[in-house]
Structure 1
Amino acid sequence: MGRSSATFESTILEVFEVHAPGFDQQTITAKTSGKGTFTSLTITITATGPEQLEALHQDLLATGQVTMVI
């Protein structure tokens, strides 16, 4: 989840392509908060291990656009 912006979704997808290349983008769901301030993305991948998930988490936060990763 992060603040809604013109580049939020594309930035997040770039990070996912690095860590989980070829993931199914057709399964992504996006939801905007009631006031339109935040956008949440639900993205499903098949993880290869805890190292992959930790690196993905760190890179998502490093974008400066993500406020929470679950």
Structure 2
Amino acid sequence: MKWWKAAAVRAIKTGAQVAIGVIGATTVFTAVDWRVVGGTVVLSIITSLLTSLAGLPELSEGVEK
């Protein structure tokens, strides 16, 4: 259970960082396309969760998934 909580926190932080970057980049060039922002954020959250499968430095070894 600790793994899921740590992975979720990391994924949400990643999604927020990506959202800020995408919104900032799109406002420089054009109006914000919220479908692009949403899709990019969802993809970054999935990628973060998959990357977390390799391990989370926030947790010590041997923690159950």
State the TM-score, normalizing by the size of structure 2. Answer: 0.35
More strand by share: 1
More helix by share: 2
State the TM-score, normalizing by the size of structure 1. Answer: 0.33
Higher relative contact order (CA 8 A, sep 6+): 2
